[in-house]
Amino acid sequence: MPIDAERVRPAVLLNPLAGDPTDADSHIGGPMLWPIDDPWPHCDGSAHDPSSGGEPFVGAVQLYRRDFPELPFPDGTDVLQVFLCTLHHDLPNGYGPDVRLVWRDSTTVFELIEEEPEPSEQVEQYVPTVNVLEPIRFAEHGDKVSGGTKIGGWTAWSGPVEFPCVRCGAVQRQTLSLATHEPSGEDVEWEFGDAGNLNVLTCPEDVTHPVAVYVD
Ligand SMILES: [Zn+2]
Ligand SMILES: [Zn+2]
């Protein structure tokens, strides 16, 4: 693994707190800003363990650019929507939910979906409670990695790992980490791995390239 010269990276703890967000808010587990004429994301079921049918993804996290300008929003987008397929999927180092990112322009959404589709079955440990976010910005040192839900910063690797982008080969970068336990003690009540984190890495060249998902 090449030595990373920049040992300090900006990071934002999302700091979730139980609340009642709307689709116009940044949140975990709340309603998504989803247009009525856009097909809701579905999992094809091919990576399920054990294999079962395709299920709708579940809206897990929504982050507006006005609240989280640190995220690598592509031009013309202002909200990141994170979806989970809440069934066990085989991941590089174990299993966890599958992750889908949607980078959206909220100003083009006029008529919303009436009801978000619900999966016929879910693994309870991957289903979040409903939370608003009270972000805390900090500089994260590579040797002292926060275990909370955050954007940016470092991945709490149990060993040195790099994920090259399957599309272009660039080394992917830590973008979002969803945590079993929050520093505040106000957990979202989902659990990843052995009380660990679900880390989502994106391509630094193009965030619409396929993400890497790693449970630590
Ligand atoms: Zn799935
Ligand atoms: Zn790429």
Distance of CA 61 from the midpoint of ligand 2 (Å): 23
Which ligand places an atom closest to the C-alpha of 119?
A: 1
Distance of CA 51 from the midpoint of ligand 1 (Å): 9
8 Å CB contact between 141 and 7: yes
Q: Report the candidate in 142, 138, 140 with the shortest Cα–Cα distance to residue 4.
A: 142
Which ligand places an atom closest to the C-alpha of 95?
A: 1
Distance of CA 89 from the midpoint of ligand 1 (Å): 6
Which ligand places an atom closest to the C-alpha of 212?
A: 2
Distance of CA 126 from the midpoint of ligand 1 (Å): 12
**Rounded to the nearest 5 degrees, what angle is found at the Cα of 134, between the Cα atoms of 132 and 136?**
145
Give the pair of three-digit tokens for residue 120. Answer: 């016929």
Which ligand places an atom closest to the C-alpha of 169?
A: 2
Distance of CA 82 from the midpoint of ligand 2 (Å): 19
State the pTM of this model: 0.93
Distance of CA 98 from the midpoint of ligand 1 (Å): 6
pLDDT (tens digit, 0 to 9) for every residue of the chain, 216 residues total? 444 556 888 999 999 999 999 999 999 999 999 999 999 999 988 777 666 678 999 999 999 999 999 999 999 999 999 999 999 998 888 899 999 999 999 999 999 999 999 999 999 999 999 999 999 999 998 888 888 999 998 887 655 578 999 999 999 999 999 999 999 999 999 999 999 999 999 999 999 999 999 998
Which ligand places an atom closest to the C-alpha of 166?
A: 2
Q: What is the pLDDT of residue 47?
A: 74
Distance of CA 95 from the midpoint of ligand 1 (Å): 11
Distance of CA 134 from the midpoint of ligand 1 (Å): 30
Q: Report the candidate in 130, 183, 127 with the shortest Cα–Cα distance to residue 153.
A: 183
Q: CATH assignment of 8-215, given 2.40.160, 3.30.420, 2.30.320, 1.25.40?
A: 2.30.320
Domain boundaries, the chain: 8-215
Distance of CA 64 from the midpoint of ligand 2 (Å): 23
Residue 125 has phi, psi (to 5 degrees) of -70, -10
